[in-house]
Structure 1
Amino acid sequence: MSPTGSDLPPLRLRGCREHNLAGFDLELPRGRWIAIGGPSGSGKTSLVFDTIVRESQRRFLGSLSARARHFLGKLGRADLEGVEGLPVTIAVGAGTITRNPRSTVGTLSGLSPLLRLLFARGAEDPGGEPLTLSHFSFNHPLGACAACKGLGVEDFVDPALLVAEPAKSIRAGALRPTLPNGYTVYSQVTLEVMDTICRAHGFDVDTPWRDLSEDQRQVILFGTRALKVPFGKHSLESRLKWEGITARPREEGYYRGLIPVLQETLARNRNPNVLRYVRSVACSACGGSRLERPGREALLAGRTLPALLERPVADLGHDLAVLASDPVGAALRPELTARLERMVRLGLGHLALARESTTLSGGEAQRLRIASQLAGGLSRLAVALDEPTLGLHPGSQAGMKLVLEELRALGNTLLVVEHDPDMVRNADHWVALGPGAGSEGGRLLHAGRPPASPLGEVPPPRAAPRSGGGAIQLRGATLHNLREADLEVRLGALTVVLGPSGAGKSSLVFQTLLPALQGEPGGPYRELSGVPPGLRVRALDASPIGRTPRSTPATYTGLLDLLRKRFAKLPAAKEAGLGASAFSHNTKAGRCPSCEGLGFERIGLHLLEDVERPCGACEGQRYAPAVLAVELQGKSVAEVLALRVHDALAFFAEDPPLYALVEALDQLGLGYLTLGQSSTTLSRGEAQRVK
């Protein structure tokens, strides 16, 4: 029987109500390419990932034993009345790959294990040692370089990266890891104790960093044994005010300095907070190959495995013809070739197999997942994809189309959330949601063949581009595949950096220019000029703005900080003794004591997803009664946070700072969001626009 899927019954959904979906029914053909589109916030992700994918995963989990479900976790039911013909569904999104320093393009694509097998069976070690698969794995103790433990880099804390503003004192924030209260993270002592240490060496915490002698700077960075001091971020007096603990005198010892503490922390965990002050260079023992001597020096047809892994995927086809000459190579060559060709069609031919997954863009990561899915050869699944053309140059879309058609030819049903009109026209079936976003969206507008212009007309180009005034010049960038690249960014204008996938756009802008402007470690370059004094730099990507229900657009944008001050100035607040902190649902001063400011109670159920219900004490408003009794223009702080952004324009019309914030959100198409909406419910595009 042909695996086209055309003989399968359709997927029928009844009463879809997840998030803002309006309770519609929908019938989708199986074994077809189905594109789903609509404005941001119209319900595309809610339909595909929060309804279809989630319900499929819940059913799969329910088929396992109780013991297996206990270890795999809990998954709740999607909000819909019924579903028929639901196939096994997998989600391929931009955030669904493993991102850590030990994960590479080779490990994710499945090419590294095949090449390891090829070398283990056919390579020869110049030292005469018998070779096994483990010798070629940097994730195995036998194969990993002993010096770098298979990471391929050596890290060292750079003192220059610790200094933010030399003109400032330690108290004022000369050092980058300084908190607003003056405490220097990693110092392990309070500001007052730090001042005592400084005075023992002839200066104090109010002396500008640039005025300190080299010996005095060494005291801060590397410690001193001139005197013993009490350790701890908080003084005994402040700790006596804490609840639930017994405050004890602090331990005393010699001040260790920032760099030794950072190095000790780095040895335990290469976390992003520490890596801000670290420069990494290729491991001197293995040359960055990650492997011990047998694995990195073994030869197959005159080639080493590390050398192959450093070559672009598009160039490996010729090497395979030379390597795969024995029976083992002949058996592996078809699979290796198929995987390489698929990656090239998906616009991934520029990647080296040794490249870390942490450096991949969202689009590259998702396309790598698509390539891996095809390698499995599974059929009659539903495959959900979230904007597979994200970051893909138009010239590479033909390859994406061929790969998706290959997936469909295996009998799979493709559920593709897409904003590109050309890709939508390639689909067999088009589902449009809208007409607006949030409460104004979630309705089914179209289900059938894609129209000629599924996403409307393309807007005209800007008539007169901004000329700007002055420019930042970056010269000689060489990160990854950049070859002495130069970039000119005009000040006061919009500069667009474009090119095919893998051309080096992210390497140039986000991994070289941005850290250079921020004074942080980044890609190498020869020269940076034209940077205005006091330039403030912000990076706006599509990463989440918060991972807990306590984060909201109001908290992230600073709107809640302004709002709390407005409420604290009201006579009713002053009479009740409520300061600005009381009007934050994230502080103990004013939050509801029952739900601790969450607005809901979470009830744990055995082997099922936790159930959330509105808090019985505050009825979901997050605040204590005394705080809710204070009103601004007839509304409590909870009622203000419940306003939609568009409605908040009128409410803040006479308050310019607050009006400016909600106006910006509204102009960016986020008028349907509520000010207090949990950040965990925002899409990638919504999160980016809030930033």
Structure 2
Amino acid sequence: MPKSRSASSIRIRGARVHNLQSVDVEIPRDAITVITGVSGSGKSSLAFDTLFAEGQRQYIDSLSAYARQFLDSLPRPDVDLIDGLAPTMAIDQKPGSTSARSTVATVTEIYDYLRLLFSRVGLPHCGSCGAAIARQSADVIRDALLSRPEGSKLVLMAPMVRGRKGAHRDVFESIQVAGLVRVRVDGEMYLLEDAPELAVRKNHTIEAVVDRLVVREGVESRLADSLSLALRLGKGLVTAAVQDESGNWIDSIYNTAMACIECGASVEEIEPRTFSFNSPYGACPTCDGLGQVDSGDGKTICPSCNGGRLRSEAMGVTIDGVSITELTAMNLTDAATWIGGLGPTLSPLHRAVAKPIQSEVSKRLEFLDEVGVSYLTLDRSAETLSGGELQRVRLATSIGSGLVGVCYILDEPSIGLHPADHDRLIRCLRRLQQNGNTVVVVEHDEATMRAADRLIDVGPGAGAQGGKIVAAGTPKRIQANKRSLTGRYLSGVDAVPVPETRRAADRFLTLTDVNTHNLKTITARFPLGCLIGISGVSGSGKSSLVVDTLLPAVEYQLAHGKRLPTPAGGIAQFGKLTGAAELDKLVPIDQAPIGRSPRSCPATYSGVLDEIRKVFAATREAKTRGFTTSRFSFNSAAGRCELCKGHGVERISMNFLSDLFVTCPRCGGKRFNRQTLQVRFKGANVADVLAMTIDQAAAFFENMPSAHRLLSSLQAVGLGYMHLGQSSTTLSGGEAQRIKLGTELARTSTGNTLYVLDEPTTGLHFDDVKRLVGVLQRLVDSGNTVVVIEHDFDLLACCDWIIDLGPSGGINGGRLMAEGTPEQIAGRADNATARFLAKKLR
């Protein structure tokens, strides 16, 4: 039978979430659909706040009543109808649950397989002398204990439970059956009958006390018998506690399976948790498995594990001479080669054990290579990944999961990718779709748009001027649609104009012999008073050059040596910096959040709220009531709603789902108490003003120069659609960066400022890029120098100077491929950037 209309597509009717204006749209199932439009047009409202939100709500409603009691019901999005909806999964750029302990290997579950591989196949080595660990006989253990000084007190114990959750009543019973009367529980000694009740959800260690004796002549036979019993109960393990000269009890663990032939040192049984830096059995005790320790201005590499995170016993286990820390320090390409070549040197038994593990790891490494992140190392902290990198890592994990019938929703997966890598990303999306899934992508990348089965253009403008479906259909149909702004750019009718001339490069800020991270002792020249683009494939060294070297080096010189250049990730390594004397200010503008709580918003970060508070405090009503400017701050107890503490929302923990924020029932999201809201200016209270868009507020405060200047700057960077009080937790990295840029624009410029931006086109439509280029050019026209790390060739084509790194990522990158004007770069035949730049300069 043919599929019904509802089964072949996802139908959305009457969507009114945020600025969507009763949108009706169909998204074909088992196809790739790209949703595009200018910033603030309603793309994310449609994809995430409508489509994904309803999918998540339906999933929770499908759970059992028992499961739902731990979760709050999600409100239905403001939509008349959504049918044909498949189970939804969002792969966005948010860090989620990643922490300092999360790495590329753990996020992709590759590390779980590696832990299993090394525990089953690895060869342990002694942490003291480096010799291979061999089995230890009971006689050898006995002789080691008898070698203690005469008179030494000794307690022999059989480890029964080691770091396991549970009450373990059966363990205590087995100890009693063995005829023993003492036990050590979590380091404390008890008579068996006095042993405490154990908390079920806590880890416990239980050791049966087999014998207590003193080392002296004639004890040999008794020690041998007790040792035999302890090894039998402990399944090959025995703990010997010996009292030293100071009266302290020192534990030594002996193992009939694992001991050093040379020095007799024992190690515990090698298990998967031996290699876990999240477990006390594997984590380096100095850094607690973080690989770094606190010292002076910041984190330094742990001196005990040298950043490996693990105990020496774990790092001493090798396969073909490679430890697990050495393997995870490899980039994904080298790791795949090592895993693929494993086998010939292994025994037949070990080869059989390793084979299925090899298959799973190789498959995941293959997917990571497909999405263009092969330059990453397995031990790379997830916290240091860009939003785009993290999203592509998650995408590779989803492809490897093999799920079918799922609706995947992605948020600009091309962010941070050089166009040379876009084809690989598109192939991954197509593979996900061909596996029987629906793929919905919010995207501005031209190549991704052209590769889509269906293109949905949302607009025509931002905020209240957006929220409509301007056009929907195949990319070719959109390209032919004159009403579609996206279509006009795809067809070439509209374009970001390329300057006819370039600014002269005659004064340089020069960094010599830079070898930070993967940079290969390069010398880079940054012409002062120019717009400079830093290009290259992902992982080529762009951030290493600019963020980790140029920024701290300039900062150090401007501070006249008061602070050392200590960027995250280590000391910048370079020969010297010249030309910085011509600068008097450094302004880095990154994509870090402008605040980490719902209380932060564009109004607070830009400082416009301070001006607004002055306006309200100057009203007659405020003066009559004795209200000062602090009354109109939601950080002040006097003026804010005390139920939500000025947040406007309440946070609800959703356990394994993302936390949910719901509108405060007392203030209705207005953030302020009733008395504060009674004060009005031109008929609006302070909550009404914060609910305005930046465009609306600029008109409202037209006659207030200080407030209007700040608002006009935010308008200039394309944020007019944004609400003044919009929570910082809802802002994208690109929006946060443009708020910072707009705030800087409003400040008085000296004309000798170095501005550094990291991919400012993130989240921008073609038309938004045109506006951004105009803003950056104005900054340079004032005599400033602007450096942008960028992949967008509309912006790169407008630069005066380009520094291109490559040829690829990771250890195969870090070389200066070319520098010069866009025309000079485009004329090179040996350069990946040149190919794409030439198309923009035609």
TM-score (norm 2): 0.62
Match among 464, 471, 482 for residue 501 of structure 2: 464
Match among 622, 625, 641 for residue 672 of structure 2: 622
Q: Which residue of 1 aligns with 2:388?
A: 363
SS in 1 for 2:19: coil
Q: Which residue of 2 aligns with 1:339?
A: 364
Alignment of structure 1 residues 237-276 onto 2, 5 Å = none
Alignment of structure 1 residues 274-673 onto 2, 5 Å = 277-281=297-301, 283-325=302-344, 326-451=351-476, 453=479, 454-457=486-489, 458-467=495-504, 470-518=507-555, 519=563, 521-522=566-567, 523=570, 524-526=572-574, 527-532=576-581, 535-569=584-618, 573-591=622-640, 597=646, 612=663, 620=670, 622=672, 624-625=674-675, 628-629=678-679, 631=681, 636-673=685-722
Give the distance between the partners of 2:79 and 2:395, measured in 1 at CA: 28
**Over residues 13-71 of structure 1, what are the superposed CA-to-partner deviations in whole Å (9 max), with x where a residue is unaligned?**
12111111111222221111111111111111111111111111111111223332333
For these two proteins, the number of residue pairs brought into alignment is 566
Q: Which residue of 2 aligns with 1:46?
A: 45
Conserved? CA contact 1:76–1:609, under 8 Å:
no
Q: Which residue of 1 aligns with 2:56?
A: 57
Instruction: Identify the range of structure 1 (125-134 vs 303-312) with the bigger mean alpha-carbon deviation.
Output: 125-134
Q: CA deviation at 1:625?
A: 4.1
**Over residues 564-598 of structure 1, what are the superposed CA-to-partner deviations in whole Å (9 max), with x where a residue is unaligned?**
23444456544543322223243234446787655
Conserved? CA contact 1:593–1:624, under 8 Å:
no
Give the distance between the partners of 1:410 and 1:507, measured in 2 at CA: 38
**Over residues 374-426 of structure 1, what are the superposed CA-to-partner deviations in whole Å (9 max), with x where a residue is unaligned?**
11111110011100100101111111111111111110100111101111111
Give the distance between the partners of 1:647 and 1:354, measured in 2 at CA: 48
Q: CA deviation at 1:685?
A: 3.3
Q: CA deviation at 1:318?
A: 2.8
For residues 310 and 19 of structure 1, do their structure 2 counterparts lie closer, same or farther at Cα, with a shift above 3 Å needed? same
- One-letter amino acid of the structure 2 residue matched with residue 674 of structure 1: H
Give the distance between the partners of 1:5 and 1:412, measured in 2 at CA: 18
Give the distance between the partners of 2:371 and 2:535, measured in 1 at CA: 18
Q: CA deviation at 1:620?
A: 4.2
Q: CA deviation at 1:531?
A: 3.3
Alignment of structure 1 residues 135-284 onto 2, 5 Å = 135-156=274-295, 158=296, 277-281=297-301, 283-284=302-303
SS in 2 for 1:496: strand
- One-letter amino acid of the structure 1 residue matched with residue 602 of structure 2: P
Q: CA deviation at 1:672?
A: 2.5
Q: CA deviation at 1:76?
A: 2.3
Conserved? CA contact 1:419–1:455, under 8 Å:
no
Conserved? CA contact 1:6–1:31, under 8 Å:
no
SS in 2 for 1:497: strand
Conserved? CA contact 1:437–1:672, under 8 Å:
yes
Conserved? CA contact 2:373–2:389, under 8 Å:
yes
Alignment of structure 1 residues 60-139 onto 2, 5 Å = 60-127=59-126, 128=133, 129=258, 130-139=269-278
Please provide the CA RMSD for this pair.
Answer: 3.3
Instruction: Identify the range of structure 1 (34-43 vs 548-557) with the bigger mean alpha-carbon deviation.
Output: 548-557
SS in 2 for 1:383: strand
Q: Which residue of 1 aligns with 2:786?
A: none
Q: Which residue of 2 aligns with 1:25?
A: 24
Q: Which residue of 1 aligns with 2:780?
A: none
Conserved? CA contact 1:603–1:610, under 8 Å:
yes
Give the distance between the partners of 2:383 and 2:648, measured in 1 at CA: 36
SS in 2 for 1:22: coil
Q: Which residue of 2 aligns with 1:267?
A: none
Conserved? CA contact 1:279–1:521, under 8 Å:
no
Instruction: Identify the range of structure 1 (489-498 vs 337-346) with the bigger mean alpha-carbon deviation.
Output: 489-498
SS in 2 for 1:671: coil
Give the distance between the partners of 1:613 and 1:149, measured in 2 at CA: 40
- The structure number with the bigger radius of gyration is 2
For residues 484 and 70 of structure 1, do their structure 2 counterparts lie closer, same or farther at Cα, with a shift above 3 Å needed? farther
For residues 532 and 425 of structure 1, do their structure 2 counterparts lie closer, same or farther at Cα, with a shift above 3 Å needed? same
Q: Percent identity?
A: 40
**Over residues 225-263 of structure 1, what are the superposed CA-to-partner deviations in whole Å (9 max), with x where a residue is unaligned?**
xxxxxxxxxxxxxxxxxxxxxxxxxxxxxxxxxxxxxxx
Larger RCO of the pair (alpha carbons < 8 Å, separation 6+): 1
Conserved? CA contact 2:8–2:84, under 8 Å:
yes
Q: CA deviation at 1:551?
A: 2.8
Conserved? CA contact 2:459–2:467, under 8 Å:
yes
SS in 2 for 1:11: strand
Give the distance between the partners of 1:682 and 1:342, measured in 2 at CA: 30
- One-letter amino acid of the structure 2 residue matched with residue 663 of structure 1: S
For residues 18 and 650 of structure 1, do their structure 2 counterparts lie closer, same or farther at Cα, with a shift above 3 Å needed? closer
- One-letter amino acid of the structure 2 residue matched with residue 344 of structure 1: D
Conserved? CA contact 2:509–2:578, under 8 Å:
yes
Conserved? CA contact 2:6–2:83, under 8 Å:
no
SS in 2 for 1:495: strand
1:676 equivalent to 2:725? Answer yes
- One-letter amino acid of the structure 2 residue matched with residue 53 of structure 1: F
Give the distance between the partners of 1:359 and 1:682, measured in 2 at CA: 19
Give the distance between the partners of 2:504 and 2:629, measured in 1 at CA: 44
SS in 2 for 1:323: coil
Structure 2: runs of 5+ lacking an equivalent: 127-132, 134-257, 259-268, 345-350, 480-485, 490-494, 556-562, 741-842
- One-letter amino acid of the structure 1 residue matched with residue 593 of structure 2: P
Q: Which residue of 2 aligns with 1:206?
A: none
Give the distance between the partners of 1:38 and 1:97, measured in 2 at CA: 26
Give the distance between the partners of 2:623 and 2:506, measured in 1 at CA: 49
Conserved? CA contact 2:670–2:687, under 8 Å:
no
Give the distance between the partners of 2:124 and 2:664, measured in 1 at CA: 64
SS in 1 for 2:722: coil
- One-letter amino acid of the structure 2 residue matched with residue 408 of structure 1: Q
Give the distance between the partners of 2:521 and 2:660, measured in 1 at CA: 53
SS in 2 for 1:501: coil
Q: Which residue of 1 aligns with 2:232?
A: none
Give the distance between the partners of 1:603 and 1:327, measured in 2 at CA: 48
Give the distance between the partners of 1:533 and 1:279, measured in 2 at CA: 32
SS in 1 for 2:377: coil
For residues 625 and 316 of structure 1, do their structure 2 counterparts lie closer, same or farther at Cα, with a shift above 3 Å needed? closer
**Over residues 318-372 of structure 1, what are the superposed CA-to-partner deviations in whole Å (9 max), with x where a residue is unaligned?**
3223323412233233332222222122111111111111111111111000111
Higher strand share: 2
Give the distance between the partners of 1:602 and 1:352, measured in 2 at CA: 36
Give the distance between the partners of 2:505 and 2:98, measured in 1 at CA: 38
Q: CA deviation at 1:556?
A: 1.5
- One-letter amino acid of the structure 2 residue matched with residue 285 of structure 1: S
SS in 1 for 2:469: strand
For residues 374 and 642 of structure 1, do their structure 2 counterparts lie closer, same or farther at Cα, with a shift above 3 Å needed? closer
TM-score (norm 1): 0.74
For residues 148 and 622 of structure 1, do their structure 2 counterparts lie closer, same or farther at Cα, with a shift above 3 Å needed? closer
Instruction: Identify the range of structure 1 (643-652 vs 12-21) with the bigger mean alpha-carbon deviation.
Output: 643-652
Q: CA deviation at 1:549?
A: 4.2
Conserved? CA contact 1:475–1:525, under 8 Å:
no
